Structure 1
Amino acid sequence: MTAAAPRPVDVHALPAMLTALRLPSIQRHWTMLADRADAEGWPASRFLAALAEVELADRDARRIQRHLQQSELPGGKTLATLDFKALPGVTRARIEALAAGDWVETGANLIAIGNSGAGKSHVLCAIGHALVEAGKRVLYTPTTDIVQRLQAARRDLVLEAALAKLDKFDLIILDDITYAQKDQAESSVLFELIARRYETRSLAIAANQPFSAWNRVFPDQAMTVAAIDRLVHHATILEMNGESFRRRAAARRRSSEPVAAPTASSDNIGVEATDNINDKLREISAE
């Protein structure tokens, strides 16, 4: 029995096929790479590898951008805009080591304690931005907001499902945990979040009160001790008791000294996403 003749390939149908296969980057760049492959005599395997690299680079960029949007991290609070010289007792090397994210791999925690305006939130958000860029899932939230959401879930009898949805985040940043007095119901759902993530997924917490004053967070003494014990067991603690950034800025304004505009962030994920794809194309062209 003779083998059936191969079907002719309809090159004109390629854009439609790439759309059906959800390969938008290959669809955008294949003609340029095909011309280069023809001109330089690339083997089919090299041409195919070049197309795959461009598609993977674009997918990584889109995923990072999507995760950044879902993180709810404040824009502009990145490592590039962090004034390391003004941080009390925290070195650049230490922050950059935390931004590398090894501690997140083990489910450890990060706690920044210090005066209001000392830069705690900026430090935690900058680390969060770096972790998103490295492929981690991060969620930033004021503590009051997440407590309200979890309380609503408890009232609707879906607290377990709400906590399970948070499991997808490698790191949750709880800002201003000691900002306001919490009642028993509020502290209860917050404790459940802390207990659920203990030794499995990371928390980063900004607090303007020392642990000795955390009875404002957890009115029940036993719950206070249990929560602190779980948080600090595997934790890095940053003590940031310095002059308020906001107070210094106000003093500069009063003395009519010019305040430097925020530095353009080199951690802008959207720009880096495009740059990564362009870099990949340049690498292919240079081969």
Structure 2
Amino acid sequence: MSETSKELTSFLRKAEANSWTYQEFLRELLTYEEKRREEKMIEKHLKWAKFPYEKSLEEFNLKELPSLSTRQLKQLQELSWLEESFNLVFLGPPGVGKTHISIGLGLEAVHRGHRVSFISMGELVPLLKTEEFLRKSQLRMKRIKEADLVIIDDLMYMAMDQNEANLFFHLINHLYERSSIILTSNKGPEEWGDLLGDQGITTAILDRLLHRSEVIHFDGASHRIKYRESLFQAKSV
């Protein structure tokens, strides 16, 4: 009862003021302890997730994304795919909301008690290469490998060499049917072979990623360009 002990004096005053019975007093203590433990667990899991920012699904304007319906988004929000270890692959040009929806689903998963890890491909490659000899990389990779949901952002934004592709395959192979994965990419799977440089590794990665997956194509113009902020008030300078 570590959390309750900090507020015990306050509870005793309330009990006295409201003439609580012993049973009522005990119920209040246990309810508070359970609530605080859940809040602290969520705080810890949010810290471990390492989201670049926090934006909920409610903040996403679906009118900007005609390729995804309200019903489909609600279905994703239910997280039944996560409980069944399904993967989600979000494909589309930059700025259409792939990362926002990924983070929104990640936040939803955290608040339902799941462990989530978010990482961009740019961060993941050096992490994989230094896992063997850097304690910090080992700890981050341990959390990624133990997560219920792993979000890999900007997949295949740059070419990999043979060693990097091999390390990436081993990660995907470890996560296969243990965790759900959300991938975002502006390149389709048909282009991944050129970036990985090895058709055999590409086939093995795709085989595991797409075995149980939903591929969603995001269409539309970039929200960043559409809603960009300008230093000048006039239309142009």
- Residue aligned with 1:167, SS: helix
In structure 2, do the counterparts of structure 1 residues 153 and 33 end up closer, same or farther at CA, with 3 Å as the change threshold? closer
Does residue 22 of structure 1 match 2:2? yes
Residue 85 of structure 1: which of 55, 63, 70 is its match? 63
Q: CA deviation at 1:255?
A: 9.1
Q: CA deviation at 1:39?
A: 4.5
Tell me the TM-score normalized by structure 1.
Answer: 0.73
Aligned to 2:180: 202
Residue identity matched to 1:22: S
Asked whether the 8 Å contact 1:180–1:216 carries over to 2, the reply is no
Q: CA deviation at 1:161?
A: 8.2
Does residue 132 of structure 1 match 2:132? no
Sequence identity of aligned pairs in percent? 27
Tell me the TM-score normalized by structure 2.
Answer: 0.88
Aligned to 1:42: 20
What does 1:58-207 align with in structure 2 at a 5 Å threshold?
58-154=36-132, 163-207=141-185
Per mean C-alpha deviation after superposition, the further-off stretch among 127-136 and 86-95 is: 86-95
Q: How many residues align?
A: 235
Cα distance between partner residues in 1 of 2:133 and 2:17: 67
In structure 2, do the counterparts of structure 1 residues 218 and 231 end up closer, same or farther at CA, with 3 Å as the change threshold? same
Aligned to 1:15: none
Residue deviations 1:146-169, cap 9 Å, x none? 12111112467xx99875443321
Q: CA deviation at 1:256?
A: 5.9
Residue deviations 1:173-200, cap 9 Å, x none? 1000121111111111111111111111
Asked whether the 8 Å contact 2:121–2:155 carries over to 1, the reply is yes
Cα distance between partner residues in 1 of 2:45 and 2:54: 16
Cα distance between partner residues in 2 of 1:254 and 1:112: 35
Q: CA deviation at 1:132?
A: 1.0
Cα distance between partner residues in 1 of 2:215 and 2:36: 37
Does residue 220 of structure 1 match 2:198? yes
Residue identity matched to 1:134: R
Asked whether the 8 Å contact 2:154–2:184 carries over to 1, the reply is yes
Gaps (5+ residues) in structure 2? none
Residue identity matched to 1:231: L
In structure 2, do the counterparts of structure 1 residues 99 and 255 end up closer, same or farther at CA, with 3 Å as the change threshold? farther
In structure 2, do the counterparts of structure 1 residues 210 and 218 end up closer, same or farther at CA, with 3 Å as the change threshold? same
Cα distance between partner residues in 2 of 1:65 and 1:94: 29
Asked whether the 8 Å contact 2:127–2:141 carries over to 1, the reply is no
- Residue aligned with 1:129, SS: helix
Max Rg structure: 1
Asked whether the 8 Å contact 2:90–2:183 carries over to 1, the reply is yes
Cα distance between partner residues in 1 of 2:206 and 2:18: 64
Cα distance between partner residues in 1 of 2:42 and 2:139: 25
Cα distance between partner residues in 2 of 1:173 and 1:149: 15
Asked whether the 8 Å contact 2:192–2:202 carries over to 1, the reply is yes
Asked whether the 8 Å contact 2:87–2:182 carries over to 1, the reply is yes
Aligned to 2:189: 211
Q: CA deviation at 1:250?
A: 4.0
Cα distance between partner residues in 1 of 2:138 and 2:111: 29
Residue identity matched to 1:152: T
Q: CA deviation at 1:108?
A: 1.5
Gaps (5+ residues) in structure 1? 1-20, 258-287
In structure 2, do the counterparts of structure 1 residues 57 and 251 end up closer, same or farther at CA, with 3 Å as the change threshold? closer
Cα distance between partner residues in 1 of 2:124 and 2:116: 14
Aligned to 1:17: none
Asked whether the 8 Å contact 2:54–2:107 carries over to 1, the reply is no
In structure 2, do the counterparts of structure 1 residues 33 and 198 end up closer, same or farther at CA, with 3 Å as the change threshold? same
